[in-house]
């Protein structure tokens, strides 16, 4: 466990992380078992009491110290992210900057959001002073993914700490080094509070041990399939769960949209980070009148992207080899079902013959243990029931289907089992916002993609296959607390309804008054 002085017993087995770009080994990490995880949780629990007892101002100051440490170590953190994920350094820097914004917001706003506030006593309790405060839960177990190994888990870690909890974090087995560095920076920025953030490393079994460990809440980010397994484990102990899962996000392009701006945004939303973004653009519904022109603009921009082991690449390799197979399957099946590839795929516009599996996406690998560079794929006429439209592809692939109207676009966008985010491109901003309100999505951007990600005050999360619960914003702080309601009796009530000694006539008068008031209101 990183960040602990205790001896966890015999040296655990280790695993090696390889660079997705070149296959070189990047680091060796322990495979933490249930005992190690239990020790980490115990350590976090010891630290939790002192952390929760601090004044909100002290916690804020400590977290801002950590934030400044992260900012001054920006290059090292971005380097760790880029090495483990394969994403270009610029993307990794952006990830760190977004994280700093969120940590800053969580630290500065926790007190305002969570402090006790007075509520009205109401008719039956005019004699009570009623308040509600949000208390920390204790220890939060965070299980993270690999695609944004800093920004995504910090949506839980930063907010949970700001709300007065301590955290045990299991990073993805593909990106443990980033998690370890994060905890080291916190330990060096706030040395007087050991145990605020403890890292346990390993794969599924370590995550399962954390879900089983008796933490007070699990914040999971990953695929819906894994969320189901984590939820089943949490169910045994009624451990609450926050599940941030995948997406199949849709973009709607209306007839009057600025097609150049929309094409720019769609290409970035679909292809950046090699398409490995939970709220990336995977489906586009564009009204028929402008579909052909819009597709030309998308293809123009997508084919200009630099992909591969080259300097200044626009995106990197697939982080895991398994992901390449998913992308290939989705493109293959879509083409076989009648979709056309305007870019990538078979490079053929014929839909008569299914593509041979090996040529459907252009893939180059740069090392035996590495992922692969997949060049952009733009598909049209993709059958709505094909995997490319119903399952998360998580690759540099975008499907652009023509629709008769905005209404049809909304209906198709909403037909997905996922409901994470969406975007709308529309000349009239008010009309765009009206379309947004009709979308089944946890977050919608009008005339941009992922606009909400840089606004810490906005909650983020989905429904359906995209999970449940919210990170970020006030809801994201409250997610790691339990409301506690307190009444303080200020004076004896005129009629005490909680005493056996109250005469029945007085009780009847009180009932009559309540009946009369509620009848009138
Ligand atoms: P994953 O589900 O394979 O793994 C996620 C984490 O769960 C990893 O740390 C993994 O080791 C752990 N895990 C695996 N099996 C487990 C088990 N049985 N019990 C406990 N933990 C277990 O997901 P991934 O491939 O790492 O990440 C990609 C997925 O994450 C995509 O679906 C993506 O959309 C999603 N994601 C969602 C968000 C969001 O905020 N909604 C953000 C980023 C990524």
The model's pLDDT over 202-249, given as tens digits with 9 standing for 90+, comes to 999 999 999 999 999 999 999 999 999 999 999 999 999 999 999 999
pLDDT band at 320 (very low <50, low <70, confident <90, very high): confident
Model confidence at 384: pLDDT above 70: yes
Q: Does 230 contact ligand 1 (Cβ within 6 A)?
A: yes
Ligand 1: residue whose CA is nearest its atom 9 = 172
Model confidence at 429: pLDDT above 90: yes
Distance 326 CA to ligand 1 centre (A): 15
The 10s digit of each residue's pLDDT in 156-192 is: 999 999 999 999 999 999 999 999 999 999 999 999 9
Structure tokens at 259: 């097609």
Distance 354 CA to ligand 1 centre (A): 32
User: In this predicted structure, what is the pLDDT of residue 345?
Assistant: 77
**Minimum-distance ligand 1 atom for the alpha carbon of 222:** 30
> pTM for this one?
0.93
Distance 2 CA to ligand 1 centre (A): 21
The DSSP call for residue 216 is S
The mean pLDDT of 69-91, rounded to a whole number, is 97
Strand pairing class (467-468; 241-244): antiparallel
User: In this predicted structure, what is the pLDDT of residue 505?
Assistant: 96
Model confidence at 8: pLDDT above 90: no
> Taking the alpha carbons of 51, 80, 392, 303 in that order, is the dihedral positive or negative?
positive
Q: Does 294 contact ligand 1 (Cβ within 6 A)?
A: no
The mean pLDDT of 100-109, rounded to a whole number, is 98
Ligand 1: residue whose CA is nearest its atom 30 = 222
Ligand 1: residue whose CA is nearest its atom 5 = 222
Q: Does 376 contact ligand 1 (Cβ within 6 A)?
A: no
Catalytically active residues, by annotation: 244, 278
- Give CA–CA dist 193/62, Å, rounded: 9
Model confidence at 311: pLDDT above 90: no
Model confidence at 351: pLDDT above 50: no
Q: Considering the chain, what percentage of its residues have pLDDT values greater than 70?
A: 93
pLDDT band at 321 (very low <50, low <70, confident <90, very high): confident
- Give CA–CA dist 230/225, Å, rounded: 9
The mean pLDDT of 359-370, rounded to a whole number, is 54
- Give CA–CA dist 317/83, Å, rounded: 11
Q: Does 143 contact ligand 1 (Cβ within 6 A)?
A: yes
Q: Does 249 contact ligand 1 (Cβ within 6 A)?
A: no
Specify whether the backbone of 3 is left (phi greater than 0), alpha (psi in -120 to 50) or beta: left
Q: Does 156 contact ligand 1 (Cβ within 6 A)?
A: no
Ligand 1: residue whose CA is nearest its atom 35 = 222
Q: Does 242 contact ligand 1 (Cβ within 6 A)?
A: no
Q: Which long-range contacts (CB under 8 A, 24 or more apart) does 344-351 make?
A: 344/375, 344/376, 344/377, 344/378, 344/397, 345/377, 345/379, 351/381
CATH 3.40.630.10 for domain 36-245+472-482 = no
User: In this predicted structure, what is the pLDDT of residue 286?
Assistant: 98
Model confidence at 108: pLDDT above 80: yes
The 10s digit of each residue's pLDDT in 438-471 is: 999 999 999 999 999 989 999 999 999 999 999 9
The mean pLDDT of 149-154, rounded to a whole number, is 98
Q: Tell the burial category of 462 from Cβ atoms under 10 Å away from its Cβ (0-12, 13-18, 19+).
A: buried
Give the lowest-confidence range in 21-30, 44-53, 434-443: 21-30
- Give CA–CA dist 428/155, Å, rounded: 32
**Minimum-distance ligand 1 atom for the alpha carbon of 211:** 20
Q: Does 151 contact ligand 1 (Cβ within 6 A)?
A: no
Ligand 1: residue whose CA is nearest its atom 39 = 244
Residue 159 near residue 104, CB atoms below 8 Å: no
Ligand 1: residue whose CA is nearest its atom 16 = 204
User: In this predicted structure, what is the pLDDT of residue 2?
Assistant: 60
Q: Tell the burial category of 157 from Cβ atoms under 10 Å away from its Cβ (0-12, 13-18, 19+).
A: buried
CATH 3.30.70.2190 for domain 250-456 = no
The mean pLDDT of 269-275, rounded to a whole number, is 97
Ligand 1: residue whose CA is nearest its atom 8 = 172
Domain segments of the chain as ranges: 36-245+472-482, 250-456, 496-520
Q: Does 246 contact ligand 1 (Cβ within 6 A)?
A: yes
Distance 463 CA to ligand 1 centre (A): 16
**Minimum-distance ligand 1 atom for the alpha carbon of 202:** 11
**Minimum-distance ligand 1 atom for the alpha carbon of 420:** 41
Across the chain, what does the average pLDDT equal?
93
């Amino acid at each position: 466990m990183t960040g602990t002085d205790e001896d966890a017993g015999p040296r655990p087995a280790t695993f090696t992380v390889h660079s997705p770009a070149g296959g070189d080994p990047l680091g060796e990490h322990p495979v933490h078992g249930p005992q190690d995880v239990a020790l980490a949780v115990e350590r976090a629990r010891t630290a939790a009491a002192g952390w929760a007892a601090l004044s909100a101002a002290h916690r804020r100051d400590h977290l801002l110290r950590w934030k400044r440490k992260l900012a001054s170590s920006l290059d090292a953190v971005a380097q760790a992210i880029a090495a483990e994920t394969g994403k270009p350094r610029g993307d990794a820097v952006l990830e760190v900057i977004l994280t700093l914004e969120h940590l800053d917001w969580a630290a500065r706003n926790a007190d305002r959001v969570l402090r006790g506030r007075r509520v009205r006593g109401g008719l039956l309790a005019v004699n009570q002073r009623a308040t509600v405060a949000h208390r920390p839960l204790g220890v939060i177990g965070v299980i993270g993914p690999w695609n944004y190994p800093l920004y995504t888990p910090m949506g839980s870690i930063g907010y949970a700490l700001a709300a007065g909890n301590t955290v045990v974090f299991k990073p993805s087995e593909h990106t443990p080094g980033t998690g370890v560095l994060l905890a080291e920076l916190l330990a060096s920025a706030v040395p007087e509070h050991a145990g605020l953030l403890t890292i346990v490393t390993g794969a599924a079994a370590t995550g399962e041990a954390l879900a089983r460990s008796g933490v007070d809440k699990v914040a999971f980010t990953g695929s819906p399939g894994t969320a189901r397994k984590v939820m089943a484990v949490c169910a045994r102990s009624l451990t609450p769960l926050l599940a941030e899962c995948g997406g199949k996000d849709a973009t709607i392009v209306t007839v009057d949209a600025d097609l150049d701006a929309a094409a720019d945004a769609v290409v970035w939303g679909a292809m950046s980070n090699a398409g490995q973004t939970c709220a990336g653009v995977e489906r586009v519904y564009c009204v028929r009148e402008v579909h052909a022109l819009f597709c030309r603009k998308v293809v123009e921009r997508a084919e200009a992207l630099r992909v591969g082991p080259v300097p200044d690449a626009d995106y990197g390799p697939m982080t895991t080899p398994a992901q390449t197979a998913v992308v290939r399957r989705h493109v293959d099946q879509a083409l076989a079902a009648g979709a056309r590839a305007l870019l990538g795929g078979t490079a053929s516009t014929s839909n008569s013959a299914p593509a041979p599996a090996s040529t459907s996406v252009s893939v180059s690998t740069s090392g035996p243990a590495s992922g692969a560079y997949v060049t952009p794929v733009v598909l049209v006429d993709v059958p709505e029931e094909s995997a490319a439209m119903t399952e998360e592809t998580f690759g540099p692939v975008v499907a652009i289907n023509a629709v008769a109207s905005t209404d049809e676009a909304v209906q198709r966008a909403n037909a997905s089992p996922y409901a994470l985010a969406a975007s709308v491109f529309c000349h009239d901003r008010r009309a765009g916002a009206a379309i947004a309100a009709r979308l089944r999505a946890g977050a919608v951007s009008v005339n941009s993609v992922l606009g909400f990600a840089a606004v810490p005050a906005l909650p983020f999360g989905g429904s359906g296959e995209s999970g449940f619960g919210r990170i970020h914003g006030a809801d994201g702080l409250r997610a790691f607390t339990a409301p506690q309601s307190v009444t303080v009796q200020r004076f004896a009530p005129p009629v005490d309804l909680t005493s056996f000694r109250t005469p029945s006539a007085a009780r009847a008068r009180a009932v009559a008054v309540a009946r009369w008031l509620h009848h009138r209101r």
